[in-house]
Amino acid sequence: MGVSEWLLTGTTPEGRRVRVRGCDHREFRDGKVIRKDPYWKIVEKPA
């Protein structure tokens, strides 16, 4: 099993800031990913 954490930042077309935190849980077999479960949460909603 492997886990990666990430932070996505961006700007909406209206110029508002967006931040999304997340992580991916991966399961491997024979060197290949056989399952990926992503989890994410918007931590700063556009105003």
Write out the two tokens for 39: 């989890």
Taken in order of first residue, the domains within the chain and their CATH numbers are 2-44 (2.10.70)
pTM: predicted TM-score of the whole model, two decimal places: 0.67
| Per-residue pLDDT, 39 | 96
pLDDT digits over 1-47, tens only? 999 999 999 998 999 888 999 999 999 999 999 999 999 987 766 55
| Per-residue pLDDT, 29 | 97
Separation CA 43–CA 47 (nearest Å): 12
Write out the two tokens for 12: 């909406």
